[in-house]
């Protein structure tokens, strides 16, 4: 059985990062949100809290859909990256 950490496993993945974000937050909803579940459900830690605001970076997104399920379309515009962009999984 492999003893690799989550960080080591994630480092195996390859990303073709699109300049256009495939996930967008609706900041007016986020500002009213107390749960901030995005900080806990995203395995890639794409969401950060800074000075009371949530920031998001799509570059390390694993396309798992957890944030979409957690927040719903009222808070997040969610789609897969365009064309050949996004993550390619490597299993080690
Ligand atoms: S992304 Fe979702 S969980 Fe995070 S602050 Fe916005 S509404 Fe709340
Ligand atoms: S789809 Fe998954 S990896 Fe991508 S931002 Fe949402 S929770 Fe994070």
CB atoms within 10 A of CB 75: 21
Q: Which atom of ligand 1 is nearest to the CA of 29?
A: 7
Under 8 Å between Cβ of 9 and 92: yes
In this predicted structure, the answer to whether residue 92 has a pLDDT above a threshold of 60 is no
pLDDT, residue 12, reads 87
70 lines ligand 2 (CB under 6 A): no
DSSP letter for 52, please: T
> pLDDT tens across 25-48, in order?
999 999 999 999 999 999 999 999
Pocket test for ligand 2, best of 10, 58, 67 (most atoms within 8 A of CB): 67
- Judged against a pLDDT cut of 90, whether residue 83 lies above it is answered with no
Q: Which residue minimizes the CA distance to atom 8 of ligand 1?
A: 36
Please name each of the domains of the chain with its CATH number.
6-88 (3.30.70.20)
How does the average pLDDT of the chain come out, rounded?
91
pTM for the predicted model, two decimal places: 0.87
Looking at residue 1, its pLDDT comes to 58
């Amino acid at each position: 059985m492999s003893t690799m950490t989550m960080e080591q496993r994630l480092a195996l993945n390859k990303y073709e990062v699109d300049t256009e974000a495939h996930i967008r937050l609706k900041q007016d909803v986020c500002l009213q949100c107390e749960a901030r579940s995005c900080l806990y459900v995203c395995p890639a830690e794409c969401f950060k809290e800074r000075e009371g605001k949530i920031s998001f970076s799509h570059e390390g997104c694993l396309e798992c859909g957890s944030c979409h399920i957690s927040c719903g379309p009222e808070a997040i515009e969610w789609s897969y990256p365009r064309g050949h962009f996004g993550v390619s999984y490597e299993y080690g």
